[in-house]
Amino acid sequence: AGRLAGKIAVCTAAGQGIGRRVAEVFLSEGATVHASDLDASKLAGLDAFGTVHVAGLDVTDAAAVAAYAASLPVPNIVFNCAGYVHHGTILACDDKDWDFSFDLNVKAMHRLIKGVLPRMLENGGGSIVNMASAASSLKAAPNRYVYGASKAAVLGLTKSIAVDFVGRGIRCNAICPGTIESPSLQQRIETLGEQVGGRDKAEEMFISRQPMGRLGRPDEIAMLALYLASDESSFTTGTLQLIDGGWSL
């Protein structure tokens, strides 16, 4: 039996990048996974890994999240992965940018957790895993003004839920990655390449800030998500787990 045998897991933004790999690993370890993404077509192929239920879901749509949460069986695991990287300092961040980043990166977690938590409590508890970032209150990264602020808020949200429900079987932890290979990172490298004179140079700039001399892999994040989701981490709650190849040292 897998490490998540018999568990029901909910994963947002499971179409690509870290969320995709986490959904694959949860499935491979025996969980029944309810995988969603803004773009449902990206969820194709997950069924090769196990028992999956896929759905298109925009986590910024409050009514859609509430309906989705109500439609689910009671989850044992909730993995909140959806997030967006806004580039720039405060000078490049207007109210619309601020609101969008907080809506997608923070409030979406609030919505989904609120939708499933009452039934999880009735069920005796469960594990909630929230995707934050090393770029948060733990570390600053240049030109990540509202991204860092929103991911810091994820850490506060995570600890608040952990403390409020620690006596009722709920654990809530946050994952704080450094720079991880993903489709959106490739996009960021292309964009930076246009400014600095070449894609290779841009990639080198991302890698040069990594003490290990390489980027992280989605699989490395998925292994931590698996641990936090499983009963192996049963004494762990309210933690902010750095997984950044030494970036923040």
Active site residues: 147
Q: Which of 17, 50, 75, 148 binds ligand NAD (CB under 6 A)?
A: 17
Q: Does 75 bind ligand NAD (CB under 6 A)?
A: no
Single residue of 113, 131, 172, 174 touching ligand NAD by CB under 6 A: 131
Nearer to ligand NAD, 57 or 161 (CB): 57
Contact call for residue 236 and ligand NAD (CB under 6 A): no
The only residue of 115, 126, 148, 177 in contact with ligand NAD, by rule CB under 6 A: 177
Q: Which is nearer to ligand NAD, 17 or 50 (CB)?
A: 17
Please tell me whether residue 19 binds ligand NAD under the rule CB under 6 A. Answer: yes
Contact flag: residue 182 with ligand NAD (CB under 6 A): yes
Neighbours of 138 (CB within 10 A): 18
Q: What's the closest the beta carbon of residue 61 comes to ligand NAD, in angstroms?
A: 8
243 binds ligand NAD (CB under 6 A): no
DSSP per-residue codes, the chain = --TTTT-EEEESSTTSHHHHHHHHHHHHTT-EEEEEESSGGGGTTGGGSS-EEEEE--TT-HHHHHHHHHHSPPPSEEEE-------B-GGG--HHHHHHHHIIIIIHHHHHHHHHHHHHHHTT-EEEEEE--SBTTTB--TTBHHHHHHHHHHHHHHHHHHHHHGGGTEEEEEEEE--B--HHHHHHHHHHHHHHT-HHHHHHHHHHT-TTSS-B-HHHHHHHHHHHHSGGGTT--S-EEEESTTTT-
Nearer to ligand NAD, 39 or 94 (CB): 39
Q: Which of 82, 116, 152, 170 touches ligand NAD (CB under 6 A)?
A: 82
Minimal distance, residue 134 CB to ligand NAD, in Å: 7
Q: Does 184 bind ligand NAD (CB under 6 A)?
A: yes
Residues making contact with ligand NAD (CB under 6 A)? 12-13, 15-19, 37-39, 42, 57-60, 81-83, 85, 104, 131, 133, 177, 179-180, 182-185
